[in-house]
Amino acid sequence: MSRWEELFKNIQQDIKLYIFILGVFCLFRIGFIVTLNSYISEATTLQDIFTALYYGIRISLKSAGLVIIASFLCCTVINILAINRKIKHTRYVIGCIYISLLSLLFYARIPYYEQFHMGFNQLLFNTFNDDVNALFYTLVQQYNLPVRLLLTGVTAMLLCRLLRSWLEVKTYHLPRFSTWYSNIAFRASLLIIIYYLVIFIRFGGSMTYAYNIDWENSGVTKDEFLNEAILDDVQALYRAYTLHERVMASTGLDMDPQRMVEYGSYLAGYQVDSRKVDDFLRKEAQGEKIKKPQHIFLIIGESYANWPLLPQYKDLNIANGVRKIISEEDAAYVPAFLPNGMSTISGIMGIVTGLAEANLYLTYLPESYKEPYSTALAPQMKKLGYKPRFWYAGPTSWERVKDFTLAQGFEEFYGMGDIESETGNVWGCDDKYLFRAVASGVDHPSPTFDVIMNISNHAPYTVDLEKEGFDRDSVISGLPDNLKDDQDLIKKLGHFWYADKVMTEFIAKMRQEYPDSLFIIVGDHADRLNIQLNPSLSERYTIPFIVYGKGIHKNVFAEQVAGSHINVTPTLLELLSPQGSVYYSLGESLTRGNEVGFNYGFWVTHDSVGKIGGNAREGMDGIKATTPFDETFIQKDIDARRAMSWWRVKYGKDMKNVE
């Protein structure tokens, strides 16, 4: 038998093993849903269940692919090189090992979900810190460990017998053609098919990254139980490992309580005789600056950087909507503004909690789920009489954003599964459907506070720009000659244009229907798109902060003001709160003339941007800064706010000695 014949035969065996293992994943998923069907909400429809099964098959394509890799390397490759018939039994052994593991995980996942209302997550790793003996007896007594092990063994044995019969099904011989070029063409086609099959499996039933599915974006249904059922046990374990690694990487400053008291007193502006974190963050409002509006919309723009708003880029015509808003008399604009971190979730964490980036993954730390932080945005807006709601165009499972925002005081959360949409990609629905849902959800006359996070201005950039009215020529005319033919760049700029267009159309619509509405526009981060090869620090990292609405005026903020995401909450509260009312914030309100904004690696003043702990410093115009600045003050301000954030999340409300 030739090597090509061996390859053809082994490929068929690998495919048979793959199909069988994929079927096992589907069987266990259905078993999981049936066994725990009482967790399905009453609002769930049959379509939701079919959706979960469909996305479950797609994500299990990847998990089943693991066994193919092992089979191909340990059986197919070796068999081709050595043509050893005995090696074929290895494929069966590999399949049996994988089936046994999946059976064990299936019976373990059921009580795990009953306990944690979640599939395998990072809490698995807490097992090693528990009393192992106590844990063992709990498994035996409460969860019938012997019975579950028996069921695991029986299930695995039956499935392995079926696998043996399936692998013994006759395979086809390699076709032979009368001409040599026909044989070559067939074999080449075979290799090409294998190549594309690998891509299809790698992207979870898609040929491109644009529609890739993984554990972070798989929560597409309205039912949280079904969203968990979509993940097979292998993907759930991968999630657990990833989240554990993120939490373990959450290191910060090594501070003692006395140092924290010093930092806290600095933030308070006077010596505070307390060991309570909140006492250092307590502030009294100076008095409302505007009449309280009925509806407030805080829009976090995905990758909405500040540089397209600069005068030198106006001819690109990608930010005309926000430019027009900035030009209005009742709009205030702060260009010296930094995101909380380098990612969307860092920005959301900063805005939702009011805490600074301190290398802590708040969405996965237990402290964030005990109660809202005193500096959290939603509870403080609720005290002012508003109903806080969070709208996200993507899946609720992404970064635990739904659980996190609800734990931090938002009363309602709406994600991709709650929004009717016709177009979108792996990260969520197109922005127009998001804003349409928000507009239809305004509960007038009840006061509402809506935080909106869009996603369209993000790779893989799948919006049908031509259908949305994108004028390529208007953008190309503003590009340097060497970039006018860069279609990939034009596509990215087109998505910025789309995000700007849809967002500002929504603002115009809401303002027409509810004239007293207040709008806050802020980017989540920058540093993803630029037309300069070596942009200045300000063009690369700054984002806009804009407040727009009735009663706002150009001088509501001081001219020499700067900030970051931790300044959003105090600024909003100072605009709305009666004089003397108490609120809590780590950052200062921009209405009080805040001078420094900072994040994970940079600081900004009204005229300078610099690297923390480095010598790099530039003016906001990109030219070397010449104005004097107090480096000691900037570093102390950053250290104090970051240390306070770190301590509050890591050790809680009290500044006491921690072993």
Asked whether residue 61 carries a pLDDT value surpassing 80, the answer given is yes
Closest C-alpha among 12, 206, 223, 234 to residue 119: 234
This prediction has a pTM of 0.81
Q: What is the pLDDT of residue 390?
A: 98
Residue 285, classed as helix, strand or coil, is coil
Q: Above 60 in pLDDT, residue 153?
A: yes
CA distance 1 to 205: 34
Of 78-82, 366-370, 373-377, which range is least confident?
78-82
Percent of the chain with pLDDT over 70: 92
- The residues, ordered by sequence, that sit 6+ positions from 293 with a Cβ below 8 Å of its Cβ are 514, 516, 517, 518, 549, 550
pLDDT for res 213: 87
Q: What is the pLDDT of residue 247?
A: 61
Among the ranges given (82-96, 439-453, 546-560, 584-598), the one the predictor scored with the smallest mean pLDDT:
82-96
In the predicted model, is pLDDT for residue 143 greater than 80?
Answer: no
Angle at 365 (CA atoms; ends 36, 525), nearest 5 degrees: 110
| Least confident stretch, 75-79, 153-157, 266-270, 342-346 | 75-79
Q: What does the buried/exposed string (b/e) look like for 592-627 if buried means 16 or more CB atoms within 10 Å of the residue's CB?
A: bebbbbbbbebbbbbbbbbebeeeebbbbebeebee
* Three-state secondary structure readout of 569-611: HHHHHHHHCCCCCEEECCCCCHHHCCCCEECCCEEECCCEEEE
Tens digit of each residue's pLDDT (9 = 90 or more) over 459-483: 889 999 999 999 999 999 999 999 9
Query: Tell me, what's the pLDDT at 60?
Result: 95
Domain positions in the chain are: 3-247, 257-348+455-651
- Per-residue CA distances from 51 to 219, 222, 227, 366, 414 (Å): 10, 10, 10, 31, 18
191-218: pLDDT as tens digits? 899 899 989 998 888 888 778 888 888 8
The pLDDT confidence band at residue 131, using thresholds 50, 70 and 90, is: very low
Is the pLDDT at 356 greater than 60, yes or no? yes
Higher pLDDT, 107 or 127: 107
Please give the CATH architecture assigned to the domain spanning 257-348+455-651. Answer: 3-Layer(aba) Sandwich (3.40)
Largest CA distance in the chain: 94
Name the strand (E) or helix (H) holding 297.
Answer: strand 295-301
Residue 148 has pLDDT above 50, yes or no: yes
Parallel, antiparallel or unpaired: strands 448-453 and 518-523: unpaired
Does 132 have pLDDT greater than 50?
no
User: What does the block give as tokens for 10?
Assistant: 């082994």
Write down the pLDDT at residue 252.
52
Per-residue pLDDT of 3-55, as tens digits, reads 788 888 888 999 999 999 999 999 999 999 999 998 898 888 999 999 999 99
Mean pLDDT of the chain: 89
**In this structure, which long-range contacts are made by residues 85-93, counting pairs with CB atoms below 8 Å and at least 24 apart in sequence?**
88/13, 91/13, 91/14, 91/17, 91/167, 92/163, 92/164, 92/167
Looking only at the bridges linking them, the beta strands covering 608-611 and 602-604 are: antiparallel
The C-alpha torsion from 302 through 307 and 308 to 310, rounded to 10°, is 140
Asked if 94 and 74 count as a contact pair (C-beta separation under 8 A), the reply is yes
pLDDT at 229: 94
180-194, 409-423, 622-636: the lowest-pLDDT one: 622-636
pLDDT of 580 reads 96
pLDDT at 552: 97
Check pLDDT > 50 for residue 135.
no
pLDDT of residue 404: 97
Q: In the block, which residue shows the tokens 């005309």?
A: 320
User: With DSSP H G I counted as helix, E B as strand and the rest as coil, what are the percentages for the chain, rounded to 5?
Assistant: 55, 10, 35
Rounded to an integer, the average pLDDT of 386-401 is 94
Tokens representing 651? 């050790």
What is the predicted pLDDT for the residue at 88?
67
**Which two three-digit tokens encode residue 411?**
């009363």
The larger pLDDT score, comparing residue 565 to residue 135, is at 565
Question: What is the chain's Cα-based Rg?
Answer: 28
Q: Are the beta carbons of 394 and 455 closer than 8 angstroms? A: yes
CA dihedral sign of residues 376, 649, 247, 223:
negative
Instruction: Give the pLDDT band of residue 130 (cuts 50, 70, 90).
Output: very low
* Residue 276 binned pLDDT confidence (cut-offs 50, 70, 90): very high
State the average pLDDT over residues 535-553: 95
Round to whole Å and give the CA distance between 226 and 217.
13
- Where does the pLDDT of residue 626 fall: very low under 50, low under 70, confident under 90, or very high at 90 and above? low
- 304 Cβ neighbours under 8 A, 6+ residues apart: 457, 496, 499, 500, 521, 522, 523, 524, 543, 544
Considering the chain, what percentage of its residues have pLDDT values greater than 90?
Answer: 63
The C-alpha atoms of residue 187 and residue 173 are separated, in whole angstroms, by 13
Would you place residue 129 in the very low, low, confident or very high pLDDT band (cuts 50, 70, 90)?
Answer: very low
Lookup: tokens for 95: 């399949």
pLDDT for position 53: 95
- pLDDT confidence of 242, banded at 50, 70, 90? confident
**Number of DSSP helices (H) and strands (E) in the chain, helices first:** 22, 17
